[in-house]
């Protein structure tokens, strides 16, 4: 079996330099050498390990859940340029030559408008592709849960990658599509819902997002995030100078306080802090840090807005500052940060206190 020499990671178009910078930093910290190959707005990044360093160890050492800007992480073979009259043969040959076998095949495209036009090609190739792979023994019932991914960036450009259970997104394109709840006051509501799917296992929702819990929503208006908390039956302090949605206020579960979210203190320990204030990331982090060090909440979800150019550097700086402040204060916790599908120029951070 050949060991592939590169990683292929999907991201939001426009965030390739951020993902590349993140990968370079994290790989270097682990003692790996390699280089990111990016095309602006392509929606993916290749990370090619130096010399004959096998990429599979790096793939395991950088789990998808630990990466901020990646939506999907694959161990990949070199990209293929295909003749239009026979696209399948080079694909099948590359799979067979690699010696790997798979339980399923996913054909995907980057999250770009141009790539969406490839839908009919992908559909037409599905059955012949699967039947040829089966015939050649590369697609079988048992293959360690491995999945083969074909990332089509054009009608004649494809890159093959593989994913492994426990270190991949189980969603096509790594994208969690959510239906907009029509009674919610703003589209931002989907950011908090996606954050819960991302950070809280479904079987823990009743315990960690339970009825009767208490939450604060800083920068709450018009109420998209508060709406999610209220849907779970929580009591919410909604902190914002702006107006809150009337229907939401009529539930009786929301107390609207026209105060400054950066200085407001809760009257007692709460279960949740959520914050979607548009301000400098360092200012938001300093405020959340005060909440966590004082244990004013058990869990927090907050967004860091990233209008600047060097987004990875900003995120890394904020997260490492928060990590060390919590360590200095002896606050045991878990922390994750992800660029969610419903996030635009921002990332979402989740912190859970352990004591
Ligand atoms: C992006 S919006 C929040 C949207 C909200 N999450 C939703 O789903 O409807 C940001 C909000 O932060 C509020 N805001 C800005 N600075 C604030 C501060 N210092 N304290 C409280 N709210 C603030 C703004 O008034 C604005 O309503």
Mutate which of 183, 196, 241, 254 for ligand 1 pocket (most atoms within 8 A of beta carbon): 241
From ligand 1's centre to the CA of 260, what distance in Å? 10
Q: Does residue 25 lie within any of the structural domains?
A: yes
CATH number reported for the structural domain that contains residue 72 in this entry? 3.30.2130.30
Given a cut of 80, is residue 149 above it in pLDDT? yes
Binding residues are 188, 221-224, 240, 260, 276
Domain hosting 139: range is 6-169
Q: Does residue 180 lie within any of the structural domains?
A: no
Shortest-distance Cα residue to atom 24 of ligand 1:
219
Question: From the alpha carbon of 261, which atom of ligand 1 is closest?
Answer: 20
From ligand 1's centre to the CA of 217, what distance in Å? 9
Q: pLDDT (tens digit, 9 = 90+) per residue, 243-266?
A: 999 999 999 999 999 999 999 999
pLDDT band of 53, cuts 50, 70, 90: confident
Q: pLDDT (tens digit, 9 = 90+) per residue, 183-214?
A: 999 999 999 999 999 999 999 999 999 999 99
Mean pLDDT, all residues of the chain: 97
Residue 271: the pLDDT is 98
Residue 1: the pLDDT is 76
Residue 54: the pLDDT is 85
Q: How far is CA 237 from CA 32, 188, 215, 218, 266, in A?
A: 47, 18, 6, 8, 8
Residue 244: the pLDDT is 98
Residues 148 and 224 in one domain: no
Given a cut of 80, is residue 52 above it in pLDDT? no
Residue 348: the pLDDT is 98
Residues 268 and 310 in one domain: yes
Tell me what percent of the residues of the chain surpass a pLDDT of 90: 95
Q: How far is CA 21 from CA 45, 253, 325, 345, in A?
A: 11, 43, 24, 16
From ligand 1's centre to the CA of 240, what distance in Å? 6
Residue 116: the pLDDT is 87
Q: pLDDT (tens digit, 9 = 90+) per residue, 130-145?
A: 999 999 999 999 999 9
Residue 160: the pLDDT is 98
Q: Is the pTM of this model over 0.85?
A: yes
Q: Do 46 and 7 form a contact (C-beta atoms < 8 A)? A: yes
Q: Does residue 45 lie within any of the structural domains?
A: yes
Residues 285 and 334 in one domain: yes
**Catalytic residue list contains 246:** no
Of the candidates 215, 208, 248, which has an alpha carbon nearest to the alpha carbon of residue 229?
A: 215
Q: Do 11 and 51 form a contact (C-beta atoms < 8 A)? A: no
CATH number reported for the structural domain that contains residue 213 in this entry? 3.40.50.150
Residues 161 and 214 in one domain: no
Question: From the alpha carbon of 274, which atom of ligand 1 is closest?
Answer: 6
Of the candidates 293, 297, 348, 303, which has an alpha carbon nearest to the alpha carbon of residue 323?
A: 293
CB-based pocket (< 6 A), ligand 1: 185-186, 188-189, 218-225, 239-242, 260-262, 276-278
From ligand 1's centre to the CA of 241, what distance in Å? 8
Binding residues for S-adenosyl-L-methionine are 188, 221-224, 240, 260, 276
- Among residues 169, 197, 221, which one ends one of the domains? 169
Residues 215 and 68 in one domain: no
Residue 75 pairs in a beta bridge with 7, 162
How large is the average pLDDT for residues 161-168?
98
pLDDT band of 278, cuts 50, 70, 90: very high
Residues 18 and 162 in one domain: yes
Shortest-distance Cα residue to atom 27 of ligand 1:
221
Residue of 142, 265, 280, 305 marked catalytic: 305
From ligand 1's centre to the CA of 333, what distance in Å? 26
Shortest-distance Cα residue to atom 16 of ligand 1:
277
Given a cut of 90, is residue 47 above it in pLDDT? yes
Mutate which of 277, 284, 343 for ligand 1 pocket (most atoms within 8 A of beta carbon): 277
Q: pLDDT (tens digit, 9 = 90+) per residue, 303-344?
A: 999 999 999 999 999 999 999 999 999 999 999 999 999 999
Residue 3: the pLDDT is 79
Where do we find the tokens 């270190």? 167
Residues 160 and 252 in one domain: no
- Among residues 120, 138, 169, which one ends one of the domains? 169
């Amino acid at each position: 079996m050949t060991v592939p020499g590169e990683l292929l990671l999907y991201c939001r178009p426009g965030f390739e330099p951020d993902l590349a910078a993140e990968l370079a930093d994290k790989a270097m910290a682990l003692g790996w050498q390699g280089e990111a190959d990016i095309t602006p707005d392509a929606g993916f990044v290749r990370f090619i390990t130096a010399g004959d360093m096998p990429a599979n160890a790096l793939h395991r050492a950088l789990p998808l859940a630990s990466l901020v800007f990646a939506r999907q992480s694959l161990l990949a073979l070199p990209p293929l340029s295909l003749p239009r009259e026979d696209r399948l043969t080079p694909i099948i040959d590359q799979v067979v030559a690699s010696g790997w076998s798979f339980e399923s095949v996913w054909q995907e495209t980057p999250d770009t408008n141009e790539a969406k036009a490839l839908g009919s090609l992908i559909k037409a190739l599905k059955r012949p592709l699967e039947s040829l792979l089966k015939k050649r023994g590369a697609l079988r019932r048992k293959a360690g849960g491995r999945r083969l991914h074909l990332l089509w960036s054009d009608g004649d450009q494809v890159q093959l990658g593989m994913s492994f259970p426990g270190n991949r997104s189980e969603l096509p394109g790594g994208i969690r599509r959510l239906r907009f709840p029509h009674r919610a006051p703003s589209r931002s509501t989907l950011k908090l819902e996606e954050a819960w799917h991302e950070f809280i296992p479904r079987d823990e929702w009743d315990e960690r997002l339970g009825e009767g819990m208490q939450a604060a929503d800083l920068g709450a208006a018009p109420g998209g995030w508060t709406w999610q908390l209220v849907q779970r039956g929580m009591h919410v302090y909604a902190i914002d100078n702006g107006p809150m949605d009337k229907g939401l206020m009529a539930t009786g579960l929301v107390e609207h306080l026209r105060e400054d979210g950066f200085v407001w203190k809760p009257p007692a320990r709460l279960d949740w802090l959520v914050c979607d204030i548009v301000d400098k990331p360092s200012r938001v982090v300093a405020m959340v840090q005060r909440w966590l060090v004082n244990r004013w909440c058990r869990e927090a979800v907050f967004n860091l807005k990233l209008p600047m150019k060097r987004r990875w550097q900003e995120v890394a700086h904020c997260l490492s500052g928060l990590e060390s402040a919590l360590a200095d204060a002896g606050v045991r916790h878990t922390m994750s940060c992800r660029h969610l599908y419903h996030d635009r120029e921002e990332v979402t951070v989740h912190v859970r206190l352990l004591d």
